[in-house]
Structures are given as structure tokens and as C-alpha cells.
Amino acid sequence: MRKTLQILTNSLKLAMQELYKNKLRTFLSLFGVTIGIFCIIGVLSAVSSLEKNVQDGIKSLGSNTIYIDKWSYAGGNADYPWWKYVNRPSCRMSEARLVKEKVGGDIRVVFNMSAQGMVEFGNTNLDGLNYHGVTEEFDGIQPVEIRHGRYLSASDFERGSSNIVMGYDIAEKLFGNPEKAVGQEVKLKGRKARVAGVVRKQGKGLISGWDFDNSILVSYGFMRQMFDERFNNPKIIVAGPEAMSADDLKGELRGAMRSIRRIGPTQEDNFELNAVSDLSKSVEGIFASVNLGGWLIGLLSLVVGAFGIANIMFVTVRERTPYIGLKKAIGAKRRTILMEFLLESSFICIIGGIIGIGLVVGLAAAFSLMFNFPIFVSMQNLGIAFGICLGIGMLAGIIPAAIAARMDPVVAIRSK
């Protein structure tokens, strides 16, 4: 152990001397490793941060949750058969009640309809806001954190009262201090409504989910007084118990909906079961492809860097040939010489990797502040960077180290 530590210490000293004596040559050789690590860790960090933001947005749609809708949420390309979905019947409140009865068990069922509209308070108008009309079990599927006031009560849902829950940003724009919004009377589509509570601020994400900051939650009964449920994105939201898988829940819901709509055995479904877990898996696949692209770009730079490190080590072996011969003459073994040069090569690579990681961390902090979008460099990515540097150093130094280890001590000493 002591001998190994001594070899390691000597290798580090020699490597530092090499870096100090040949600054330009070392810099040019390290540049490829630095850029390679920067590309790989930069892409991994950016993509993992982006994926976390998107996945958090998807998770905000509910855990183990199925959205029954006429539309498929897996669209977005030219082949999306909108003509097929547009002719399907819309979901209805009566169907939500029947789903609850037929599936039974420990499931939560919500009927939701959404629209965009305006809110008025005095002389201030805010347009383009999201109205969400929901039924009583909504906060059991999608928790709503109240910052001021209260959430809608059971009597609000039962009577279809005009009490509402307002998003934080809306309350801030209308009243300055969101706390002052509680108890105030506003107008929604010309109808008077009273603010019962204000939702805790969520902040912006790439996928906003329910976007509570810019939304108004009302009971289904009150929403129905303002909008026709058939034409305002009606959907049934079902959350199953933790013990039930999404596939099992889908199977139960498919059977229930086919029965409710009296669809024959040979007829295809005229509804879509959109599982949040399916959206999450599709996102994982997309980001896996982006990660692969980052790896390929980074590996090209690392190959260039590896040749640069190998070049340094070949020159170093030539410059130290007499020294190697002297060490072998006084009893140094082949494995000792081999280990010494491999450690030196790895150390040089690790220095390049540290510079690359430093650039990533600095740019991540700068972008996080500039764009209010958190980019983090995880310990896993740092471990990957260290492993890559060590591996590249070993590969780049193996041939020069092997040449040094095989040298004849007499020939090596005379080469001076």
C-alpha cells in the first residue's frame, strides 16, 4: 500500500512538472478532453434538468391517473387522425357518475370542463384566463395548495355556488396583495363570483399541467351556468388506488365506458384512455434519444483528446528514457513503470475533465439565473465524468506506458 502511494505521489509530481514545463503543448492536448467532457456533462445536465421539469409537469396531472376524453393526448405529428377524434361524442357528467358506479372500489372520479375567459374587478379586466369547472373529488386527484382563504366546500359543489378559488398570479394582478383577494367580489363572464381562496404560487414550467397560477377553479354547477359542457373540453378524470396498476385501471375503465356507451363487440372505442404514466414513458424515450446525441458529440471530442494525451505520453516517454533506464537498473519492475505512466496519463485527463466540469457548472449557474430555469449538475453526472476521464487516460496511456515498461535499462541509459 505504501509503495503504491509513493508511486502515485511521484506520478502526480511528474505530471505537474510536465504541465508546467510544456504549457502550450499540454493545453492543446487537454483541450479535446475538456471540450468532450463539457459536451457530455453539459448535455446530460441540461437534458436531465429539462426532463425533470417536464416530468414534474406531467406528474402534476395526477398520480396513477387516467383522463377519459374524445382526444388522444399522444398527438403532435402530421399523422395525428384528428378527423377520427373530432367526430367522437364528448364526455358527459352522467357518464362520470356511471363510471363511478360500475368500476366501484377505491377510485376517485372527477368530471372536468375547461374554457378561457375574463375576470373583472372594478375597472381592471384580465383576459385569456383558464376556467376549470370540477366536481367534488378533484382535490383528491390533484392536490390544490391554498395560500390564502379556503378551498371549495362540499356545499359549494352541491349547490353550484358562485364561490371560486383564484390563481396566485391573477390575485396579484387584480389586488396587488393576493391575501386581499379573499372575500372580494369579481365577475366571470358577467356573473358575480366571490373569491373563497387563493392557490399557492406554483411558478412556471415547460409543461404547466393545470397552471393554477393563471387559473380559476369553480364548481361544475357554477361552470355549467356559464358554458355548455359539450363544447368546452369535457373530460372524465379517474385516479385508481396505489395498489392498482395503470393497465388494470385502463381495463376496468374500458369495460365500463363500452358498457355505458353500448359499444358492440366488433366496434372500436369512441373514447380515449390517456394515462399519465404513458405520457411519462414517451417523454423518457424522447430524452433518451437526445442524451444519445450528446454522447456521440462528446465522444468525438474525447477521441481527439485521447490522441492528444497519447501524443503527450509518447513525448514524455522519449524525454524520460534515461530516467526510465536508471529506475529499471536499480530494480524497478515493469508493472511499476507501467503504473507510473498510466497514472500520469489519467491525471492529465482528469485535469481536463475538471476544467470541463467547471465550465458546465459556471454556465449552468449563469443560465439558471438568467432564465429562471434550474439547471443542476448531479453527483451521478460528476461520477460519469470522472469515470470517462480515468478510462480515456488509461486508454491513451497504455501504449506509451507499455513501451516504457519494456525498455532495456542499458539501451535506455545510453540513449542520453
Domain end, chosen from 241, 270, 299, is at 270
- The list of the chain residues with pLDDT below 70 reads 1-8, 10-12, 14-20, 22-23, 25, 54-63, 75-79, 203-209, 279-286, 372, 412, 414-416
Distance of alpha carbon 309 from alpha carbon 350, whole angstroms = 11
| Per-residue model confidence (pLDDT) at position 56 | 67
* Inter-residue contact 53 to 375 (CB < 8 Å): no
SS3 sequence of 267-312: CCCCCEEEEHHHHHHHHHHHHHHHHHHHHHHHHHHHHHHHHHHHHH
Residue 80 lies in a domain: no
Distance of alpha carbon 398 from alpha carbon 339, whole angstroms = 9
Q: What pLDDT, in 10s, does the model give residues 282-334?
A: 666 667 777 777 777 777 777 777 777 787 778 778 877 787 777 777 777 77
Q: Of 153, 127, 159, give the one whose Cα is nearest residue 217.
A: 153
Distance of alpha carbon 402 from alpha carbon 85, whole angstroms = 67
Q: What are phi and psi of 208, to 5 degrees?
A: -80, -15
| Per-residue model confidence (pLDDT) at position 219 | 95
As a whole number, the mean pLDDT across the chain is 82
Quote the crossing angle between the two packed helices 2-21 and 334-371, to the nearest 10°.
60
pTM above 0.85, yes or no: no
| Per-residue model confidence (pLDDT) at position 255 | 92
Same structural domain, 213 and 287: no
Same structural domain, 159 and 197: yes
Residue 192 lies in a domain: yes
| Per-residue model confidence (pLDDT) at position 168 | 93
Same structural domain, 230 and 303: no
Within 10 angstroms of residue 21's Cβ, the number of other Cβ atoms is 10
Task: Please give the sequence-ordered ranges of beta strands (E in DSSP) within 35-189, or none if there are none.
Answer: 65-69, 108-121, 124-134, 146-149, 163-166, 185-188
Within 10 angstroms of residue 262's Cβ, the number of other Cβ atoms is 7
Domain end, chosen from 210, 242, 270, is at 270
* Inter-residue contact 202 to 53 (CB < 8 Å): no
| Per-residue model confidence (pLDDT) at position 210 | 77
| Per-residue model confidence (pLDDT) at position 207 | 52
- Residues β-bridged to residue 114: 132
| Per-residue model confidence (pLDDT) at position 218 | 95
Q: Cell triple for residue 127?
A: 383576459
Same structural domain, 260 and 122: yes
| Per-residue model confidence (pLDDT) at position 18 | 64
Same structural domain, 341 and 219: no
| Per-residue model confidence (pLDDT) at position 230 | 82
Q: Cell triple for residue 234?
A: 369535457
| Per-residue model confidence (pLDDT) at position 275 | 83
- CA within 13 Å, CB half, 158: 3
- Count of structural domains, the chain: 2
Return the SS3 of 393. Answer: helix
Residue-number span of the structural domain to which 218 is assigned: 89-270
| Per-residue model confidence (pLDDT) at position 244 | 81
Same structural domain, 241 and 311: no
| Per-residue model confidence (pLDDT) at position 237 | 93
* Inter-residue contact 156 to 164 (CB < 8 Å): no
* Inter-residue contact 194 to 183 (CB < 8 Å): yes
Same structural domain, 311 and 406: yes
